[in-house]
């Protein structure tokens, strides 16, 4: 998203947005990792922490979306810059959704713990997929930070493989 512009303030605005997106991404990464741990171990306290973190993620999403909208109105970016801002808005929305999914995982872990039903079908497969997904999230944030189109393309292909694995265990 960052390119050199004649307006230094515009560059500063873009940098501030990118920094906050990466902050949000870090929160979501930790939230997802903690949700998987809470699910695996039945740690209710950690699950509650994941759920509470989702409030911060949601606030960041609203603030960033608002900041991007104001940037578009105020600066009226040209085509390339507008695509960058719109891609950032999409990334923000996706990060918020990942946070929501992490919350669902944490809640499921709490429910399993409360019902004392620790028998989870395909646990090793789920754990493997969760680890790969966590790595993918990290790599996607890295690609965003470095504006690495090739790495982003690899992430899309990896996502399709993980989706296939999830569908295959859902059928059994």
What secondary structure, in 3-state letters, does 26-51 show?
Answer: HHHHHHHHHHHHHHHHCCHHHHHHHH
Q: For the whole prediction, is pTM greater than 0.75?
A: yes
Angle at Cα 122 formed by Cα 117 and Cα 123, nearest 5°?
65
The encoded tokens of residue 19 equal 């920094």
Domain 1-119 has CATH 1.20.58.220: yes
Alpha-carbon span 78 to 92, nearest angstrom: 21
Domain boundaries, the chain: 1-119, 121-172
CB neighbourhood size of 114 (10 A)? 10
Token digits for 68? 């991007």
pLDDT in tens, 98-135: 999 999 989 888 887 777 755 555 567 777 888 888 89
Any idea of the CA torsion for 145, 147, 153, 159, to the nearest 10 degrees? 20
pLDDT for position 4: 52
Chunk the chain into consecutive blocks of 10 residues (it has 172) and report each block's average pLDDT, rounded to whole numbers.
65 93 96 92 92 96 96 90 91 94 88 68 73 89 89 86 74 60
């Amino acid at each position: 998203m960052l390119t050199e512009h004649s307006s230094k303030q515009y560059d500063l605005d873009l940098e501030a947005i990118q920094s906050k997106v990466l902050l949000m991404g870090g929160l979501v990464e930790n939230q997802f990792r903690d949700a998987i741990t809470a699910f695996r171990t039945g740690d209710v306290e950690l699950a509650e922490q994941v759920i509470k973190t989702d409030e911060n993620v949601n606030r960041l999403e609203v603030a960033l979306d608002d900041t991007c909208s104001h940037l578009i109105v105020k600066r009226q970016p040209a085509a390339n810059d507008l695509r960058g801002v719109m891609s950032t808005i999409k990334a923000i929305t996706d990060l918020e959704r990942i946070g929501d999914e992490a919350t669902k995982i944490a809640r499921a872990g709490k429910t399993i713990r409360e019902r004392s039903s620790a028998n989870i079908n395909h646990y090793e497969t789920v754990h493997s997929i969760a680890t790969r997904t966590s790595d993918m999230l990290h790599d996607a944030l890295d690609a965003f930070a470095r504006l690495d189109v090739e790495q982003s393309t690899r992430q899309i292909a990896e996502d399709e493989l993980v989706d296939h694995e999830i569908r295959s265990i859902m059928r059994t």
